[in-house]
Structure 1
Amino acid sequence: MFCCAGADDDVAASESKGAKFAKIEIKGWKVDPNPIGEGGFGAVHLCTEVKTGKRRACKAMRLPTAQDRDDFRHEVAVLKATGKHKNICHCIDVAEDARYGYLVMQSCTGGELFDRIAARNCSEKDAAMAIVDVLAALNHLHTKRIIHRDIKPENLLYKDKQPGSPLKLIDFGLAIQLQPGQRETEVCGTTSYMAPEVLRGSYSFECDIWSLGVICFFMLSGKLPFPGRSDEEKEARILRGSFSFSEEQWNSNLR
Structure 2
Amino acid sequence: MSYSFGRQLGEGIDGTVRLCTDLSSGLAFACKSICKSNSDAVGHIRTEINVLQKLKGHSNIISLHDYFEDDGYIHLIMEICEGGDLCEHLQQKGRLSEQEASLALTAIANAVMSCHQKGIMHRDLKPDNILLPYRNCSYMDLKLADFGTAANFSHSRLFDELEGTPLYLAPEVLDGSYDEKVDIWSMGVLLHIMLCGFPPFNGESVTNIFQSIRKDKLDLKQDPWPRISAEAKDLVRRMLNRNPYRRIKLRELFAHPWMQRFSVTGDESRATLQALNSVVVAG
Aligned partners of 1:106 and 1:253: how far apart in 2? 36
Equivalent residue, structure 2, for 1:137? 111
Distance 1:251 1:44, change over 3 A: farther
Q: Alignment partner for residue 106 of structure 1, among 67, 71, 79?
A: 79
Equivalent residue, structure 1, for 2:65? 92
Kindly report the root-mean-square deviation, in angstroms, between the aligned alpha carbons of the 2 structures. Answer: 1.9
Equivalent residue, structure 1, for 2:121? 147
Return 5+ residue gaps in structure 2 as ranges.
230-283
1:196 pairs with 2:149? no
Residue identity over aligned pairs, in percent, reads: 34
1:30 pairs with 2:16? no
Equivalent residue, structure 2, for 1:239? 214
SS at match of 1:94: strand
Alignment check: 8 A CA contact 1:116 1:122 kept: no
Please tell me the residue identity of whatever aligns with 1:30.
S
Equivalent residue, structure 2, for 1:49? 22
Q: Alignment partner for residue 189 of structure 2, among 184, 202, 214?
A: 214
What is the TM-score normalised by the length of structure 1?
A: 0.83
- Relative to its length, the structure with more strand (as a share) is 1
Deviation at 1:243, TM superposition (A): 2.4
Instruction: Identify which range, 237-246 or 44-53, moves more after superposition.
Output: 237-246
Return 5+ residue gaps in structure 1 as ranges.
1-26
Write out aligned runs for 1:155-170 (5 A).
155-165=129-139, 166-170=141-145
Aligned partners of 2:167 and 2:127: how far apart in 1? 11
Aligned partners of 1:71 and 1:229: how far apart in 2? 28
Aligned partners of 1:201 and 1:129: how far apart in 2? 33
Aligned partners of 2:183 and 2:108: how far apart in 1? 10
Aligned partners of 1:249 and 1:65: how far apart in 2? 43
Please tell me the residue identity of whatever aligns with 1:202.
S
Deviation at 1:68, TM superposition (A): 4.1
Residue correspondences, number: 227
Equivalent residue, structure 2, for 1:178? 153
Aligned partners of 2:12 and 2:67: how far apart in 1? 19
What is the TM-score normalised by the length of structure 2?
A: 0.75
- Relative to its length, the structure with more helix (as a share) is 2
Alignment check: 8 A CA contact 2:14 2:35 kept: yes
Equivalent residue, structure 2, for 1:7? none
